Amino acid sequence: MFAGRAEAGAKLAEMLADFAGGEGIVLAIPAGGVAVGAALAKKLGLAFDVAVVSKILLPWTTEAGFGAAAFDGTVRLNKHLLTGVSLTKEQIEKQTKAAVQKVQRRVKQLRPDRPMPRLSGRCVILVDDGIASGFTMRVAAEAVGNCGAREIIVAVPTAHEQSLRDMEKRVSAVYCANIRSGYMFAVAEAYRNWYDVGEKEAAKLLGEFENDSV
């Protein structure tokens, strides 16, 4: 569907044209969502920053998680998933602590001299490079809501249909260019050029935007 994340962001910008030039702000979930969000924000002429959220990873994988931690201190566990895996209390606490520390480290690395932008009373467009289960995005939306956002829009290039249906109940609106279904789903399948975005690349993209702290 998309050559890469920048093209995906440009496609989303076409879908969100009504938001162009407004007072809204695009917040990307790092690291993969930053390239999508940067392209979207540039096309629409909107402020841009990050909403740092991290999966709480299962001990035996670097991809699958059983919860998420957010920049405002919000931590949520996927209780439904936890019923199907054998994790001790100590493992859950260890993995949760690691996710919280990752969020704190990324906040410092991606926003070393940038205060968190004002979200109270604003329209916030939350962006990632795709949604599989949607749990991380749900925690991101909760954190943004805790910061007083007036309206929360979720915009992603690709997502699983069931996850989008669940997301619609939690935010003001959802925009997705490529909706998929079926048991097997991978965000990477929607991109011809897929790679893991590093924190240095994400920081560089952020640096191209003026700080929006008011």
Q: What is the pTM of this model?
A: 0.92
Among 76, 71, 115, CA closest to 213: 115
pLDDT at 213: 46
Q: How crowded is residue 161: how many other Cβ atoms within 10 Å of its Cβ?
A: 12
Please report whether residue 214 resides in a domain: no
Please report whether residue 157 resides in a domain: yes
Read off the pLDDT of residues 87-105 as tens digits, 9 standing for 90 and up.
889 999 999 999 999 999 9
Total number of domains in the chain: 1
Cβ atoms of residues 21 and 123 within 8 Å: no
Please report whether residue 160 resides in a domain: yes
For the segment 166-180, the average pLDDT, to the nearest whole number, is: 95
pLDDT at 212: 54
Read off the pLDDT of residues 133-145 as tens digits, 9 standing for 90 and up.
899 999 999 999 9
| Mean pLDDT of the chain, nearest integer | 92
pLDDT at 26: 97
Please report whether residue 17 resides in a domain: yes
Please report whether residue 103 resides in a domain: yes
Domain span including residue 48: 5-207
Please report whether residue 212 resides in a domain: no
Instruction: Indicate the DSSP class of residue 109.
Output: H
| Residue 158: CATH number of its domain | 3.40.50.2020
Please report whether residue 190 resides in a domain: yes
Cβ atoms of residues 13 and 40 within 8 Å: yes
